[in-house]
Structure 1
Amino acid sequence: MTLSLAPHVARVGLPGQGILIDGRWRTTESAWTHIHPATGEAIGEFPVASESDVDSAVRAARTAFDEGTWPRARATTRIKTLHRYAALLREHADELRALQALDNSVPLSFGGIYATSVEAAADVFEHHAGWIDKAGGETLPPYQGGDHLALTFREPLGVVAAILPWNAPFLLYAQKVAPALAAGCTVVVKPSEYATFTVLRMVELLHEAGLPDGVLNVVTGPGDPTGEALVTHPMVDKVSFTGSRAVGRRIVEASAGTLKRVSLELGGKSPTLVFPDAPDIGLAAMTTMGTVTMGLSGQACVAHTRALVHRDCYDEFLAAAAMLAGAITYGDPFDPTVLAAPLINPKQLDRVIGYIDRGKDSARLVIGGSKVDGVGNFVQPTIFADVDNTAELAQDEIFGPVLAVVPFGDEDEAIRLANATEYGLGAGIYTTDNRRAFRVARALRAGTVGINGFQVEPHLPFGGFKQSGLGREGGRSAFEAYTELKTVLMPLTDELM
C-alpha cells in the first residue's frame, strides 16, 4: 500500500510556532522532524527547546505567579476564561482531531470515543472551572491557649511542569492544565515530541480565550534535553507527568533536591475478570479486546491487556475476542473505515514484536502475531491463550495490541491473579451477581474498577495503586493537588498585639 498524508497536511495546516515564553512564540536553531507512524514520511518540524529556553519559560511562569494577576484574580475571572476556552475547544474540534491524526495517527473514526475526544477535554476544563469558587478552607475553634481562631486556606501551589505523553493529547493535556489553572498556578507545558502540533494549537486557543501572558508557557522537544531541564529546574514547584515508570522514577529522584510536589501516572497491566454469569460473554470479550486493538492499538495506560476468564466461559470468550481482532482495519487515519493506529515509532514496533515472538514459546497464539506488511508501524491484533500469570506477557506493559488470556477456576483465584502484578491502575469485572461485583471490586488493588463496563469521567479521580503512580487526576482531588493548605491563627482581641 502506498500512502501519503501530504494532502491532509496541506488542507489542515500545522501550527507554525513551537516555544511560547511570556506570551511570545520563539523558534530555535535546533528542530525536531516529526515522522508519521503510519507512513514514515516527514510531516513537519518544531523547535527543540534548549536548557536556556526552558529556564526562560520557567522564569516567565515564576514571574507570572509571584507578580502577575492570575493567582490573585477574582474567581469570576478564572471561571469565565476557562469556560471561554472550553467553548473554543468544541468549536475547533474537527481541526484538533485532524491535527491529532497527523501527530500520532489516531484515526478519526476513534475521535468520537469520549475518553480520547476534544469533548472530554472541554468537559475537564468546565469541571475544574466549577471548583474555582469552592476552594474553601475551615474555621476551627481554639484547642488551647488564648481566645483565637484557627483558619485554613487553599492557595495556589506555584509553578507547575506539565509533561504530556503522545497517546491522548486532548484529555491528558486537560487533566493537567485545567486543575492547575483553576487553582491559580502558572504552568510550563512540554508536549511529547510525537504529539506536539495538537498541543500547540490547543495552547493558541487558550490564549485566544484571554489567558494572561506568562501564565502558560510551552517548551517543545524530546525528553533529553528539554524534559530533563524542566524537571530539574529549581523554580518548578510541582511536576505532573504521565508516561513510563523509568521516567517517573527519574522525576522522583530529580524532585528530591527541592522537594517538588509530584503527580505521576505510570501505566498499568489492567485485568478484566470475566465470570460465567457475565451478562454477555461475547460483549465482555469484544469490549476488552477493543481497548487493546481499536484506536490506540493498546498504547493506552488503562487498556485491559490481561483477561482473566473463568474456565466455563473460556472458549466462548476467546472466539468472540478473535472475531473482533480479525475485523480491525489499518491505514490512512483520515479514512473513516480505518479503526486502529500504528505503533508510535519503529523502536516501539520492534519492542512489541519482540514480546510477541518470545510469547510464542510459552503460550498459545490464537490470532495475529506479526507486523502488518507494507503499512507503517502497524501490528496485527494478537491474542495469547493459556498464559501463565507470572510470564512477561501477563506482567509487562507491552503497549501494543497484545491480549494475554489467563484461565481461572474460582473467585479467590481470580482476585489473587489480578492482584499479582506491580501495577494497579484499572480493572474490569463482568458478572450479574451484585454481591460478587462489589466484593471483588473492593478486593482488587486498582485505582478504577468498572463493573460490566469501564470509562474515565472528568469528575472522578483517576490514578493507580502500587507502581502505577502517585496522586490522582480528575475531580476534587486533582484540583486540591495544585494547592497548598495554609493555617492562620487569628487572635480574637480588639487589637493585634
Structure 2
Amino acid sequence: MQHHNKLYIDGNWVESTSDDWLEVINPATESVISRVPAGSSDDVDRAVQAASRAFDAWASTPAAERRALLLRAADLMQAREQELIAAVSASMGCPQHIAGWLQVEGPIEAMRLFADQVGITEETEELGHSLVWREAVGVCGFINPWNYPLHQFVGKVGAALAAGCTMVVKPSEQTPLQDYLMAEIFHEAGLPAGVFNLVPGRGTEVGRALCEHPLVDMMSFTGSTRAGIEIAKACAPTVKRVTQELGGKSPYIVTADCDLTAAVRYGVDDVMINSGQTCTALTRMLVPRSRIGEALDIVRTRVAEIEVGMGESAFMGPVSSRRQWQQVQDYIQIGMDEGATPVCGGLGKPQGLEQGYFARPTVFAGVTNDMRIAREEIFGPVLCIIAYDDLEQAVAIANDTPYGLSSGVFAKDNTAALAIARRIRAGLCFVNGGEFNYQAPFGGFKQSGNGREFSHHGVEEFTEIKSAQLAVHAS
C-alpha cells in the first residue's frame, strides 16, 4: 500500500498544514489501498499564491515552448500508461483491460491534441481600426470527478496549459492516485514551478477555499448538478468565470426502421460500461411501441452475456463506493415501487460477488417519463426503456428533462438520424453508434452545465478576448 503524504505546490512536494487524511478504498475489495492528505484552506492559499506568481511568465511563454512541454507530458504519460491504468482501476473499480482503452488512452491522445492548440493566444484579428486577440484567463481552480478521473483531469488541465493559464487541482476524494502520477509527469516534463499545483482534500474545505479565493479567476467543475449549483453560489461574490459539466439523463431514440439488434445492443453497452457511472450514458432508451417485444428479447440476450467482476472477460466492475452501491439499490427499489417492470437484474449483488461494491446490470421496461427512475440521475448500471408511438412523441419525451448533456439516435442512416439529432436539446449526440471524439467539443445544455471541454472550443474557455482600438490618422 503506497501512501502519498505530501502536496505538490510551487514545483515542490510539501507537507500539508492539515493533520487529516483521506483513505483511498478499492471498490472491488473494499480494502484501503492508499491515503493522501486532506488539504486545508491554508494549503489552498499557498497553492493559489504560487499559481498567481507563476502566471505572467507562463502566459507569456512562446506557444512553441508550451507545445513542447505538453507533448513531453503526453510522451511521459504514454511511458507510464500501465501505472495510470493501475491507479484508475484500483481506486474507482474499472477492470484494467477496460481502463486502458476507456480511461487512459483517450486522455493521452487529448493531451497531444491540446499541444496543437497553443497558438490561440498568438493569433490577432483585424476588425476595421481594431485588433482583437485572446489572452489566458488567469489562475484556475479545478474540481475533478471520480468516474473518469484522468479524462476530466486532462480536459481541464491540458486546455488550460495550452491557453497559458496556471492552476490548482483538487482531485476527487475517492480517486486522487492518477493526479499524483500526473504531478510527477509534469515535474519531469519541466513545467515551471507554480504552473501546476495539486491539493487533494474535501469539497467542503479545499473546494470551497478555491471557489472563494480572490486570486482564482476561473473555476471548472465536473460533478453533480446539486454540487454545481453550490459552487456557482460560492464563486459569485468574486465574479469568477465558472464552467460546469454536470448531471445527465440522456435520451436515446431508436427508430422503427433501424437495425434493431445493433441499436439495442449499443444502447445496453453504453449504459453498462464503467458500471453505469458515465455522465453521458444513454439511460433512457426510447423504442417504438410496435417493436418493444423484439427490443426486450435483444436486451435479455445482451445482458445475459455481460460478466461482472475484475477478470479479463468482465465487462462491468463494481460501482465506486458503498454509498454509490446503496444509491443504485435505492433507485432499483424506487423503480419497482413506481410500477416499472424489471427485465434483467434487480436488487443485490451478482451471484458469487459478495465482496466488493458490485451491482447487477438492471433494465426496466414499462417506464414512463414521469417516473423518478426516468427523471433522476442514478449513476449506475440501470437502463430505462420507454415506448413511444410516433417520432413527434419521441422527441417530446427526449426533451422532457431538466438535463441536456448527451443524447443518441439510431436510425436507418446518418441523414435520417441527424434530422432527429438537431431537434434534441443536448450538447452532444451519438449518431448510429458513433464514438466519443476528442477533436469535438464536449458539454451540455440546461442543468447539465455550461462551457465546453476538449477541442479548440475547450481551450477558448480559458481565454479572455481583448481588443485594441488604433488611432486612425489622415495621411
- TM-score, length basis structure 2: 0.95
- Which residue in 2 is equivalent to 1:144? none
Matched, 1:371 2:361: no
Structure 1 counterpart SS, 2:248: coil
Q: Please tell me the residue identity of whatever aligns with 1:370.
A: L
Shift, 1:18, TM fit: 4.0
Please name the residue that 2:59 is paired with.
71
- Superposed CA offset, 1:174-194 (max 9, x none): 100011000100010110011
RMSD (Å) for aligned C-alpha atoms? 1.7
Aligned position for 1:432: 412
Alignment correspondent of 1:293: 272
Instruction: Provide the secondary structure at the position in 1 that maps to 2:429.
Output: strand
Contact 1:109 / 1:339 at 8 angstroms: preserved in 2? Answer: no
| Number of residue pairs matched by the alignment | 468
**1:262-301 → structure 2 map (5 Å cutoff):** 262-279=242-259, 281-294=260-273, 296-301=274-279
- The alignment-based identity, stated in percent, is 39
Partner of 2:127: 140
Asked whether the equivalents of residues 277 and 433 of structure 1 are also in contact (C-alpha less than 8 Å), the reply is: no
The one-letter amino acid of 2:124's match is G
The Cα shift of 1:15 comes to 6.6
In the alignment, which residue of structure 1 is the partner of 2:106?
120
SS of the residue corresponding to residue 257 of structure 1 reads helix
CA distance in 2, matches of 1:293, 1:87: 31
Distance apart, 1:318 and its partner CA: 1.6
Which residue of structure 2 aligns with residue 43 of structure 1? 33
1:317 correspondence with 2:295: yes
**Gapped runs of 5+ residues in structure 1?**
1-8, 142-148
Tell me how far 1:493 sits from its aligned partner: 5.3
1:338 aligns with 2:325: no
Partner of 2:219: 239
Normalising by structure 1, we get a TM-score of 0.91
- Look up the equivalent residue of 1:37 and give its one-letter code: P
Deviations 1:83-117 (A, max 9, x none): 1111111111111101111111111121243xx33
Are the aligned partners of 1:326 and 1:381 in contact in 2 as well (CA < 8 Å)? Answer: no
1:219-251 Cα offsets, whole Å, 9 max, x none, are: 001212121111121111000110001110011
CA distance, structure 1, for counterparts of residue 423 and residue 55 of structure 2 = 43
**Cross-structure match for 2:233:** 253
**Contact 1:18 1:220 (C-alpha < 8 Å) held by counterparts:** no
How is 1:151-166 mapped onto 2 (pairs within 5 angstroms)? 151-166=131-146
The structural deviation recorded for 1:454 is: 3.3
- Where do 4+ consecutive residues of structure 1 move more than 6 Å? none
Indicate the residue corresponding to 2:117 in structure 1. Answer: 131
Deviations 1:54-101 (A, max 9, x none): 1111111111114xx211111111010001111111111111101111
Q: What residue identity is the alignment partner of 1:90?
A: Q
Is 1:347 the counterpart of 2:326? The answer is: no
Aligned residue number for residue 282 of structure 2: 304
Check whether the contact 2:334–2:372 (CA below 8 A) recurs between aligned residues. no
SS at match of 2:237: coil
Question: Are 1:193 and 1:222, in contact at CA under 8 Å, matched by a contact in 2?
Answer: yes
Within 2, Cα distance between the matches of 1:231 and 1:329? 42
Unmatched segments (≥5 aa) in structure 2 = none
Deviation at 1:24, TM superposition (A): 1.2
Instruction: Give the superposition deviation at 1:434.
Output: 4.7
TM-fit CA distance, 1:329: 2.4
- Paired with 2:294 and 2:199, the residues of 1 have a C-alpha distance of 50
Q: 1:25 aligns with which of 7, 13, 18?
A: 13
